[in-house]
């Protein structure tokens, strides 16, 4: 037991020399490493981390902007489409109105032409009928004239006629 104590005692007795040198070295290390190593290293790591964070943020931002841009484009397209539709509709309406107007106009013109034609026809017809009547009258007179001439060409025949006429009168 005693030998064990003698063996262990130097193990747990801190030597003044090593305490001195450790303190010195440790303080020097803290100062030197702190100034020439940890400060720049930690600074650089921090800077990089901040850079990464910033890059991520700006990427996110760009994404949002892109989204907005796309949405804007969509909107403009939609607007253009609506405008086009409206224009088309208007054009169609104009065309229809022009066609209808033309149709109406041509119809009245046709009607007018028809009416005047019909009037002319009626006039011509009336004129023709009048002429025909005149000619028929003239013809009838000529025929009557000729018939009379032939009927009354001999005395016998004149007598006969008078007889026939007289017969008719006798009845009354």
Residues 33-72 binding another protein (CB under 8 A) are 33-34, 36-42, 44-45, 47-48, 51
Interface with another protein (CB under 8 A), residue total: 35
Does 29 engage in binding with another protein (CB under 8 A)?
A: yes
Q: At what angle do helices 155-171 and 39-151 cross, to 10 degrees?
A: 100
Residue 109: closest CA among 98, 120, 117, 119: 117
**From CA 56, how far away is CA 63, in angstroms rounded?**
10
Please, what is the minimum distance in Å from the beta carbon of residue 39 to another protein?
7
Find the shortest distance in angstroms from Cβ 62 to another protein.
18
Q: What is the number of alpha carbons within 13 Å of residue 48 lying toward its C-beta?
A: 5
Contacts with another protein, residue ranges (CB under 8 A): 7, 10-23, 25-26, 28-30, 32-34, 36-42, 44-45, 47-48, 51
């Amino acid at each position: 037991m005693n030998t064990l104590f003698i063996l262990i005692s130097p193990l747990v007795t801190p030597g003044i020399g090593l305490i001195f040198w450790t303190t010195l070295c440790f303080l020097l290390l803290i100062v030197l490493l702190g100034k020439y190593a940890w400060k720049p290293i930690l600074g650089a790591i921090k800077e990089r981390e901040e850079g990464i964070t910033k890059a991520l943020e700006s990427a996110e931002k760009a994404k949002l902007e892109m989204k907005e841009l796309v949405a804007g484009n969509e909107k403009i397209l939609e607007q253009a489409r609506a405008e086009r539709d409206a224009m088309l509709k208007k054009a169609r309406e104009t065309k229809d109105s022009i066609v209808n107007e033309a149709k109406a106009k041509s119809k009245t013109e046709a009607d007018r032409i028809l009416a005047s034609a019909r009037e002319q026809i009626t006039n011509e017809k009336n004129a023709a009928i009048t002429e025909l009547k005149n000619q028929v009258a003239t013809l009838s007179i000529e025929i009557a004239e000729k018939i009379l001439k032939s009927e009354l060409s001999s005395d016998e025949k004149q007598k006969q006629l008078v007889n026939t006429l007289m017969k008719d009168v006798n009845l009354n």
